Amino acid sequence: MINSSPEGDSNDNVPAQRKSRYRALGEGLTLVINVVSVGVLLMLWWLATHLGWVKPLFLPKPEAIWSAFQQAMAGDLDGHTLVVHLMWSMYRVFLSFVLAVLIGVPVGIAMGVSQIMLGIFDPIIEFYRPLPPLAYLPLMIVWFGIGETAKIILLFLAIFAPVALAARSGVKSVSQDQIQAARSMGASTFQLIRHVIIPAALPDILVGLRIGMGVGWTTLVAAEIVAADAGLGKMVFNASNFLRTDVVILGILIIGIVAYLFEMLMRFIEHHAVPWKGRV
């Protein structure tokens, strides 16, 4: 006879419970290692600067970074407060990111399902994608001036390529069995894309968004250095002209922290939007 007792059901769940427990332990261990790594780096920084291993011009003391932070918050560096610099940078990069997602994801999906769309967009994207954004930044300035339009378009192009290519890659990874099954049930092209292709391609799309935002932050600093009145990149550039290494490091830390927070947000979204990723 087949054992249908509650004890039998609970025994069947033991492997799953063990996997879940091991996964939680692994995540906790990773967090501990992360904290220890950051702590060791901070300790080495403190020792190197206070024991005179590195000159302050090349690596200021942590206290100097804190003093620079206070000056930046008060607007004593270049006429703009740190909040103003940060808000301008976030406005530029996130506006460009939203535009790249709204356009890049549909274009990528179209490239994956249509050979005609692939033939139209693939050569263009693959041509400009390897180009450093600074290579065509002067062209953006000539075409659109030194205002916000040039910087937004530059950031949009930098983010658009990885987003569109990730969406196309996700579509190509969709199982043909799933597509044929949906077709056999009478699904239209729109229903096929909505209920089969997009859910299956979502993990790759989210990875493309994370990569695109990283490229966007990198391009943002370059764009602000060349043509901007305010922004984190401009703050760093102005500080470098006066050999204010403490302000340069402050700007680098803020840029890295914001990018890290966005990465954590994307991981959170990915964890809840595609919980099956890495578990099947």
- pTM comes to 0.79
What's the pLDDT at 276? 64
Residues 148 and 238: their CA atoms lie apart, in Å, by: 19
Q: Does residue 245 contact residue 57 with C-beta atoms inside 8 Å? A: yes
Residues 156 and 133: their CA atoms lie apart, in Å, by: 11
Q: Please, what is the Cα angle at 136 between 87 and 163, to 5 degrees?
A: 65
Residue with tokens 């968004």: 209
What's the pLDDT at 200? 81
> Does the pLDDT of residue 269 top 70, yes or no?
yes
Residue 195 DSSP class: I
> Does the pLDDT of residue 29 top 90, yes or no?
no
Rounded percentage of the chain residues whose pLDDT exceeds 90: 16
Residues 232 and 237: their CA atoms lie apart, in Å, by: 9
Sequence-ordered list of residues with C-beta below 8 angstroms from that of 203, at least 6 positions apart, any chain: 170, 270, 274, 277
> Does the pLDDT of residue 141 top 90, yes or no?
no
Residues 251 and 72: their CA atoms lie apart, in Å, by: 10
What's the pLDDT at 2? 46
What's the pLDDT at 17? 66
Q: Does residue 210 contact residue 100 with C-beta atoms inside 8 Å? A: no
Residues 251 and 66: their CA atoms lie apart, in Å, by: 12
Nearest to 230 by CA among 127, 36, 54, 79: 79
Q: What is the mean pLDDT of residues 160-186?
A: 83
